[in-house]
Amino acid sequence: MIQVRGLTYQIAGKLILKDLTFQVEKGEMLAILGANGAGKTSLMRCLAGELQGQAGGVYYRKRIIKSYAIAELAKFRAYLHQQNNSSMAFLVEDIVRMGRYQQRSTNAEQEATIIREAMEICAVNHLASRSIQALSGGEQQRVHLARVLAQIWDQREAILLLDEPIANMDMQFQHQSLAIAAALAKAGFTVVAVLHELNLAAQYASRIMLLKAGRKWADGSPCEVLTPTNIYAVFGVNTEVEISRKTLVPQIGAPAISLPLASFNSFL
């Protein structure tokens, strides 16, 4: 569904993504993990067609992404940005409806059902007539997730790109949102999500890619990728990893962190 071939992206003379090649198949949920500044958002923006690399490219259904018109792309590719602007006092329902802007049908009843279902699944239906600005950070994030789900809710083989979709959410909604993403992948969507929570990625993603300084460091199943060696190489922390006997999913223990004590001289 998505093919990335030799993608290289640089900005302001700095190489951000280096010769990335991979593909994501329909039905997969790929989690992209890496340290701050590794290039995850830049990669997502390339995957979404917002940024073009200087070499290589991104292909959807074997067609280079830049050959798609925006309206055509919006029909089957939804992208939740890392940060969503809530500087205007729109109502929650209007924000979710904005997801339908490019492809709303003339069937008003069907459109209303899509908006309602997207709000229900993200548990924001009770907030429908509230201003987005009057919501908590996690609630706002659920509203924006509902907006991108509404965009492709009537598609069967859409691409869903989620950049840190659960960063502000509480534990229940983190799990619920990733369970929705995993269920959509199982139903035929192609899902790519940038995450920082290794254990949640292990639990919900079918595949994990580690990025290190713009390069692909590891790519495979959660068990193959989330090893202490890879985690140390990418995040610089020592962890213990156990494979759960119940779920066969790797569980990453809390890392042992040593503080740079010399910097705390005035406190010690």
- The CA distance from 178 to 175, in Å, is 5
87 lines the binding site for ligand ATP (CB under 6 A): no
Pick from 41, 140, 151, 176: which binds ligand ATP (CB under 6 A)?
41
Among residues 195, 203, 151, 191, the alpha carbon closest in space to that of 169 is found at 195
Cα 102 to Cα 51, 55, 80, 116, 161: the distances in Å are 20, 30, 16, 18, 17
38 lines the binding site for ligand ATP (CB under 6 A): yes
42 lines the binding site for ligand ATP (CB under 6 A): yes
14 lines the binding site for ligand ATP (CB under 6 A): yes
Among residues 200, 154, 161, 197, the alpha carbon closest in space to that of 178 is found at 200
Size of the site for ligand ATP (CB under 6 A): 12
Among residues 87, 47, 83, the alpha carbon closest in space to that of 64 is found at 47
Residue 12 CB, nearest distance to ligand ATP (Å)? Answer: 4
- Closer residue to ligand ATP (CB): 41 or 203: 41
- The CA distance from 150 to 120, in Å, is 11
48 lines the binding site for ligand ATP (CB under 6 A): no
12 lines the binding site for ligand ATP (CB under 6 A): yes
Tokens at residue 143, please?
Answer: 């509203």
Considering only 29-37, 54-62, 71-79, 120-128, which stretch makes contact with ligand ATP by CB under 6 A?
A: 29-37
Pick from 7, 29, 39, 189: which binds ligand ATP (CB under 6 A)?
39
Residue 240 CB, nearest distance to ligand ATP (Å)? Answer: 24
Half-sphere CA count of 247, side-chain side, radius 13 A:
12
Residue 16 CB, nearest distance to ligand ATP (Å)? Answer: 4
Residue 231 CB, nearest distance to ligand ATP (Å)? Answer: 15
Residues paired with residue 159 on neighbouring β-strands, in sequence order: 77, 190
- The CA distance from 59 to 66, in Å, is 9
258 lines the binding site for ligand ATP (CB under 6 A): no
Binding residues for ligand ATP, rule: CB under 6 A, are 11-12, 14, 16, 34, 36-42
